[in-house]
Amino acid sequence: MTGPTVPMATEPEPAAGWAPTRALGRAVLLAGLLLVAGVLLGRVDLIVLAAPLALGTAYALRRRPTALPQVWVTQGEGGPLVEGGDVTAAVSVGNPDTVDYDLVVVRSRVSPWLRIVRAGFARNEAVQDVSPSTTPATGATAPANGTGRSVADRPFVTSVPTGAVVDLELAGNALRWGRHPVGPAGARVATAGGLLVSRAVITEPVRVRVYPRTEPFEAVEAMPRAAGLVGAHHSRRPGEGGELAGVRRFGPGDRLRRIDWRVSLRARQLHVAATLSDRDAEVVLLLDVLAEAGRSGGVSGAASVLDTTVRATAAIAEHYLHRGDRVSLLEYGPGARRLRPAAGRRQYLTVLEWLLDVRVHPSSHEPYDQVFGPQLLSSDALVVVLTPLLDERSAQMLARLARAGRFVVAVDTLPTDLPSPKDRGWAEVAYRLWRLDRDVMIGQLREHGVPVVRWAGAGSLDLVLRDVARLATAPRVGGR
């Protein structure tokens, strides 16, 4: 986390940002009244009573603070997190002054998608998220199931000696992908026996990166058309590979190890086994961000459209990048963000970072022209469109891609358990009509040659890729 000391201020500032407390006002007022009354009434006992108050106040103010506390937020070690993983952070308060901080009140905001189950200072007993039946009377806890107020949503009190640092350690779980803030955090300090208090020192939040948890995904079917030079997919071009394409006569340039001796003996002429070359392919993952539906419940709860889209994209990208293919990402929305095609482990990490910034951007205009162009989509690329099909423009975009001769696969990301409206009146009837209209639209897309499959993890695209691979052998209609 953080070291035990902080650098001392080179040039102490005057006592700016510090204000007297009500305790100081009461002490000065009471001592003054007793002294005036003792002088006017000639009573020595009143002066004797005022002397300890005056001397105590003067002794407490003999060393005034010259610098405000330092506050910063740090993320725990371990790098980026994955949904459901453990998250740690610390809110540190440093004392660069020459006087001790008698009382320090620290408070920090934490994203609701970071479930903090333990919070406390490193040298003190931490506050844990336990069952209320086992909670001490003085402890501050949250229910064990994560409902209610977070453990970190409360002030924490401590003291900081001169030149020291105290860390408020936070530990919990990451419930959802994204960039979740820890902070802003603030601290107020009381010193000089509680007679002086500082203004609130606020620090900027630190955003914790939480990557989506990739669902298991495997696709054993061949790509529609492999266009690279080398790779793991069976292309339809003859060459060196492991897929048998047939037997033909021996010709110049053929290798001797390819001779099929059984056929050669029967035909009394040399024949060789012809194979298909293995090549890589380009996969374009197109994310429809025009609409959102459902309510996200985190990694262990219900998934919204955006959750399914992001997690499925991460799984598909991981699968094809692991096989050595090139993967690119596109957003179908007003932002029109794009990630250039590349391969390898570095591209996978870039894909995860790119997915953290995916947001729903409703728009009234047609984003097709600015998203798609001949320079963005290769004619041999497999285009996987992840869409909830809630907008007619999404269906029109799929139809345009199919008419342009692209190899398109539509992945339906609409939650299966999407609840129907419970309002009175015609809401439920309208919901059923919308469902029927959406089913008709999906049927029309399939009639136009766009396969639509619901995302279900491993093997979701096998049957679809097999059909698309068969279509790739047929003559293609339309311009590229």
Q: Higher pLDDT residue, 184 or 229?
A: 184
Residue 129 has pLDDT above 60, yes or no: no
Task: Taking residues 96-125, report their average pLDDT.
Answer: 85
37-90 tens-digit pLDDT: 888 888 888 888 888 778 877 777 878 888 899 999 998 887 778 998 999 999
Please check whether residue 206 is in contact with residue 215, taking contact to mean a CB–CB distance below 8 angstroms: no
The residue that leads in pLDDT, 206 or 27, is 206
Question: Tokens 């009143």 correspond to what residue?
Answer: 46
Q: How far apart are CA 127 and CA 134, in angstroms?
A: 12
Task: Write down the pLDDT at residue 107.
Answer: 93
- 293 band by pLDDT with thresholds 50, 70 and 90: confident
Assess whether pLDDT exceeds 50 at residue 363. Answer: yes
Mean pLDDT for the chain overall: 77
d(CA 388, CA 353): 23
Helices (H) and strands (E) in the chain, counts: 9, 21
| Cα–Cα distance, 377 to 261 (Å, whole number) | 45
Mean pLDDT, residues 266-281 taken together: 72
Amino acid 229: pLDDT? 44
Residue bearing the bigger pLDDT, 47 or 189 = 189
Three-state DSSP class for residue 73: strand
Confidence of residue 138 (pLDDT cuts 50, 70, 90): very low
Dihedral, CA of residue 38, residue 44, residue 48 and residue 49, to nearest 10 = -50
**In terms of DSSP bridges, do strands 206-211 and 233-249 run parallel, antiparallel, or are they unpaired?**
unpaired
Q: Which position has the higher pLDDT, 158 or 267?
A: 158
Token pair, residue 352, equals 């995860």
Report how far apart, in Å, the C-alpha atoms of 415 and of each of 113, 260, 302, 306 are. Answer: 20, 54, 9, 10
Those residues whose C-beta lies under 8 Å from the C-beta of residue 266, and which sit 6 or more positions away, are none
Two structure tokens written together for 148: 């209610």
Give the length of the chain.
480
More confident residue, 474 or 150: 150
Residue ranges of E strands in 356-471: 382-387, 407-412, 452-454
Residue 187 confidence (pLDDT) above 60: yes
pLDDT at 108 over 70: yes
Nearest residue to 13 (alpha-carbon basis) of 70, 85, 80, 74: 70
For residues 174 and 21, the model is more confident at 174
Give me the pLDDT at residue 244, please.
62
Stronger pLDDT, 239 or 263, i.e. the higher one: 263
> Which pLDDT does position 177 carry in this prediction?
92
Residue 219 pLDDT: 58
Section 281-304 average pLDDT:
87
Residue 12 DSSP label: P
